[in-house]
Amino acid sequence: MRIEVVTTLPEFFEPFTKLGVIGRAIQRNKLVFDILNLRNYTHDVHRTTDDYAYGTGIGMVMKVEPIFEMFDDYLLKHSRPWLVYPSAEGELFDQKKALELSKREDVMFLCGRYEGVDERVMALVDEELSVGDFVVSGAELITMLFVDAIARMIPGVVGKSESVIQDSFYSDLLDYAHYTRPKQYRGMSVPEILMSGNHAKIGRYLLKDALKRTMEKRPDLFLKHELSLEEKAALLELFKEMQKIC
């Protein structure tokens, strides 16, 4: 898979490409990651990529010419990428979208700044994506979130595929609680069943825990989730256990 990031701040991404999931994906040749400096497509001494907004004169808007010239230049060397513009006006990004994008051959992210991009740039954009209803100074940090989530979905990037499948939101449920050594710490204990060695019982316990945590923390996700027969059986067990406690 190829991912490109178009930005006026390429230095933002230098450590990002060397560390963690993205660094490993690049080293294992699972991901080709390119940073495209938008200032390379300017023609003035100051390498200007923004200008005052027409009409109001309030705020700065990213200029149309460098973005189109960057895209034209890219198409001379590669097939057309799927162009994503991170924007508060876009569809909310989630795990399903990360999986969907991970299956594309080439995804390009255009990082806006200031008041955003000249509206004519949207003629190139295939999709707008959002992380929530808030404003940040530029899309670089948001793009890093998108790219990290997408890279995790590429086969072979994360060491154990089971850890990806068990992640929160992969199956529309939150992840179950995790524990490691020591068994006892300041009066708090690891649940005995997790040390029992009975994999069937452990699996059922973890499923019930995931269902319970989703109901408590994200009821909106739980209400949208289509329960499997196994999950329904686990819910019945959970209900009976709660009755005993009451």
237 and 143 in a single domain? The answer is no
**How large a percentage of the chain has pLDDT more than 70?**
95
16 and 121 in a single domain? The answer is yes
Mapped onto helix, strand or coil, the DSSP state of residue 130 is strand
| Structure letter (DSSP) for residue 178 | -
56 and 107 in a single domain? The answer is yes
pLDDT digits (tens, 9 = 90+) for 23-72: 999 999 999 999 999 999 999 999 999 999 998 878 899 999 999 999 99
pLDDT at site 106: 98
Domain at 63, CATH number: 3.40.1280.10
Contacts of residue 212, defined as CB under 8 A and 6 or more positions apart, other chains included, come to: 238
Examine residue 145 and state whether it is found in any structural domain, yes or no.
yes
pLDDT at site 161: 52
Torsion of CA 103, 106, 112, 116, to 10 degrees: -80
Nearest to 146 by CA among 9, 22, 14: 22
149 and 47 in a single domain? The answer is yes
Summarize the confidence of residues 224-232 as an average pLDDT: 94
48 and 139 in a single domain? The answer is yes
pLDDT at site 158: 86
Mapped onto helix, strand or coil, the DSSP state of residue 161 is helix
| Bridge-based pairing state of the strands 50-52 and 60-62 | antiparallel
141 and 69 in a single domain? The answer is yes
pLDDT at site 245: 82
* HEC string for 196-246: CCCHHHHHHHHHHHHHHHHHHHCHHHHHHCCCCHHHHHHHHHHHHHHHHHC
pLDDT at site 163: 52
pLDDT digits (tens, 9 = 90+) for 99-126: 999 999 999 999 999 889 999 999 999 9
Q: How many of the other CB atoms lie within 10 Å of CB of 13?
A: 20
pLDDT at site 67: 98
216 and 156 in a single domain? The answer is no
| Structure letter (DSSP) for residue 114 | T
pLDDT at site 159: 66
φ, ψ for residue 203 (rounded to 5)? Answer: -60, -45
Number of domains in the chain: 2
Residue 88 clears pLDDT 60, i.e. is over it = yes
Q: Provide the domain limits for residue 74.
A: 2-161
Summarize the confidence of residues 160-170 as an average pLDDT: 52
φ, ψ for residue 230 (rounded to 5)? Answer: -65, -40
